[in-house]
Structure 1
């Protein structure tokens, strides 16, 4: 008897590490996850040429918009949600409860549904100087979101000096595995 896969909702915002999402999906699948990919509208636009390939790879439609009322859910129920990279705008929208984007709505609701949520921002050091960013990080942590930010997670770089190939995706997936063990 085989154990069914755990459903991982893998969400991404429009930051350069999102271009490595194929490798992340493959890594998550090798760890036993059934991956459902959700993107902010801008990230979906960035990855538009790959959306068909990404749907084939995951076996699920890639979502970036809310479904119409009455339409059935096309994804299995989430066991864990991993949101990375998460931009400055998305972190602040999420913390403030502004759910204009599908993925922000799902993670906001996921908190109330007690679904483990792991997030890793991808912002530069200029953005983190804005006072709202630290408030948003604190607010999300207070709601139970596991934010991989700072020591042991993503550390902001200087503007224009990003290293998207060094984005610590492994930490996100390690946290998702750990969250589904409990």
Structure 2
């Protein structure tokens, strides 16, 4: 992420969208569309497992950029400009815990760890089941990341409500969290 951003003064702000392995990831196009409506350009970085949940051709057509999931080789051009913000949606139990621990063993996690060091705003929509959210490591990870300034939306468990319907995943909420604070 470091180096010349390649942006011109009139360029739109650039949003990195980090996508993890959850069933709702297939609808990430909704977030990309909402971001564009709010004046963002976006590029998607998927965890290696998250990549399998995406319609690669559809996401790439919507962003006009390749989905990134692996490190680029030295000397390869940067496919995205430097981020103005990062949205992590959906964020899984595994990603939240590894990120909080400072593990950077994938491009997605390395990007999240580096974004903090660069002072880039980060917002997260967790997608974690009730059973996993009960694990003490998850709460400790949330506390650590919040202490780093990471902004969190409400956790989405994917569990059906009393009527047997699954609540809607509010993709646009991550953009609300990134709005400038007064």
Same-fold status (TM-score > 0.5): yes
TM-score range, shorter chain: 0.7 to 0.9
Q: Which of 122, 137, 140 is 1:135 aligned to?
A: 140
1:46 and 2:40 aligned: no
**2:57 paired with 1:30:** no
Distance in 1 separating the partners of 2:134 and 2:176: 29
Q: Which residue does the alignment assign to 1:8?
A: 15
Q: Is the 8 A contact 1:154 1:168 kept in 2?
A: no
Instruction: Give the Cα–Cα distance (whole angstroms) in 1 for the partners of residues 119 and 30 of structure 2.
Output: 28
**CA RMSD after TM alignment:** 2.2
Structure 2: distance between partners of 1:92 and 1:72:
31
Residue of 162, 174, 177 corresponding to 1:175:
177
Q: TM-score, normalised by structure 1?
A: 0.86
Cα separation, 2, equivalents of 1:123 and 1:162: 17
> Cα deviations across residues 125-175 of structure 1 (Å, max 9, x unaligned)?
100111100000001111111122xxxx2254659x883x61121211222
1:109-128 to structure 2, matched below 5 A, reads 109-128=114-133
- CA distance in 2: counterparts of 1:46 and 1:158, whole angstroms: 19
| Structure 2 unaligned residues grouped into runs of 5+ | 1-8
Partner of residue 58 from structure 1, selected from 59, 63, 68:
63
Q: Distance in 1 between matches of 2:99 and 2:85?
A: 17
Structure 1 residues without counterparts, runs of 5 or longer: none
Q: TM-score, normalised by structure 2?
A: 0.86
Any conservation in 1 of the 2:30–2:171 contact (CA below 8 Å)? no
Cα distance change of structure 1 residues 88 and 166 upon mapping to structure 2, 3 Å threshold: same
